[in-house]
Amino acid sequence: MEILDSSIAAEVADQLLQIQAIRLQPEKPFTWASGWKSPIYCDNRLSLSFPAVRDLIKENLVKSIQHFYPEAEAIAGVATAGIPQGALIANDLKLPFIYVRSKPKGHGMENMIEGKVTPGQKVVVVEDLVSTGGSSLKAVQDLKNAGFEVMGMVAIFSYGFSVADDNFEEAGIKLVVLSNYEAMLPRAVEKKYISDEVLKSLETWRKDPANWTP
């Protein structure tokens, strides 16, 4: 995993905290679908309701693609949260846009990929959030199965789990994020969203989320 720029990572983290797209509540943890208890909940879809934050994210995702994937010929959003971000980016870059469903549409053409499928086309995948990377890499594989050449992925935020790094490395897919858990924590302390004592608990969670207890 790579970060576009450390100052941008801090700025994006600040904005996500401010609009409560990132919520931190270790005393009353969230429960993920996996059953994990989590002191953090990240819903980057909220950024779409704040034009200044939306522009900050869009502009820097565009910069990420221009810098790391200059040969991109199309943008692919991962349903559902990657769709609006991907469409905004594709519009700025004047590139074709497609999106990948989590499962085939249950009627009509029963498509897994919506949009013009062009085998051999070089595509960059857009995600809003990366946790373990499982669903993101499934979308990558679906694009490959359809004949696309997947150059890599960009995302707004990552929890920075080692399992995600391992999964992306094994898949041979480059991941570039605007911000991540490591960049967010010091901003949360500085802006007084959390105390130094709570920081220790949050750092422990990231190292072993499956066994973390509040």
Annotated binding site: 101, 105, 107, 127-135
- Check whether the bond before 132 is cis (ω within 30° of 0): no
Instruction: Report d(CA 30, CA 40) in Å as an integer.
Output: 7
Q: What angle do CA 117, 118, 123 make, to 5 degrees?
A: 90
* The dihedral sign for the CA sequence 102, 65, 41, 19: negative
Cβ atoms < 10 Å from Cβ of 200: 11
Q: Which residues are annotated as a binding site for orotate?
A: 131
Q: Which residues are annotated as a binding site for 5-phospho-alpha-D-ribose 1-diphosphate?
A: 101, 105, 107, 127-135
Instruction: Report d(CA 88, CA 102) in Å as an integer.
Output: 21
Distances (CA, A) of 78 to 32, 48, 113, 149, 198: 19, 16, 10, 16, 33
